[in-house]
Amino acid sequence: MQSLSFLDFAVIAAYLIGTLGLGLYIGSKIKTGSDYFLAGRKLPWWAIGMSLVATDIGAVDIVGTGGAAHQHGLAVANFEWIGCVPAMIIAAFVFIPFFWRSGVTTIPEYMERRFNVAVRSALAICWIIFMACNLGIMLLASAKMMHVHLGMTVNACIYLTAFLVGIYTISGG
């Protein structure tokens, strides 16, 4: 495999620095959970809904679907177009307005209002477990790619990615 050139590294570094700078700038304006999750309710519900859809489609989906299509054939992509995308769009235009009008910031918050704190806690615990597994897969996938292109150990790539993404996320990105 051909190694990356200086220009490749410069473009990657500029992208990471620009993204981190944007995250820090936007993060300086965030004061509440509503600011973080819902842009302070300053955007219309449909913009928040479409942001949710866009946030849910990431590199893991694109690379994973491409890899599955390579291994099993293009029919694998039908899952995305027939199953996931329509469901996300329906969710964005049906459920988001409902939650928006209820005044909640998160789904667990809604579950507490609708049922009780035990249901909210159970949902939050399930979500934390799911996210821990999901983040582990994303960190490993990115580390394997970085290991090939940068020559760093997989563990070092995981730590570097977790550190950079953590700073970006905590700062409001």
Give tens-digit pLDDT for 74-128. Answer: 787 777 777 777 887 787 778 888 888 888 888 888 999 999 999 999 999 999 9
Residue 18 half-sphere exposure toward CB, CA atoms < 13 A:
6
Rg (CA), the chain: 19
> What total of structural domains would you count in the chain?
2
Residues 123 and 172 occupy one common structural domain = yes
Q: Would 111 be classed as within a structural domain? A: no
Number of Cβ within 10 Å of residue 3's Cβ equals: 10
Alpha carbon separation from 59 to 12, 89, 110, 164 (Å, rounded): 16, 19, 30, 16
Mean pLDDT on 121-142:
91
Query: Which structural domain, as residue segments, surrounds residue 159?
Result: 1-30+116-173
Q: Would 69 be classed as within a structural domain? A: yes
Contact 33, 105 (CB under 8 A): yes
Residues 96 and 139 occupy one common structural domain = no
Residues 88 and 47 occupy one common structural domain = yes
* pTM of the predicted model as reported, rounded to 2 decimal places: 0.64
Residues 133 and 169 occupy one common structural domain = yes
Of residues 20 and 161, the one with the higher pLDDT is: 161
Q: Of 83, 105, 127, which one is at a domain's C-terminal end?
A: 105
Residues 67 and 82 occupy one common structural domain = yes
Q: Of 76, 105, 134, which one is at a domain's C-terminal end?
A: 105
Q: Would 173 be classed as within a structural domain? A: yes
Residues 86 and 50 occupy one common structural domain = yes
Two tokens at 59?
């590199």
Q: Would 92 be classed as within a structural domain? A: yes
Residues 60 and 80 occupy one common structural domain = yes
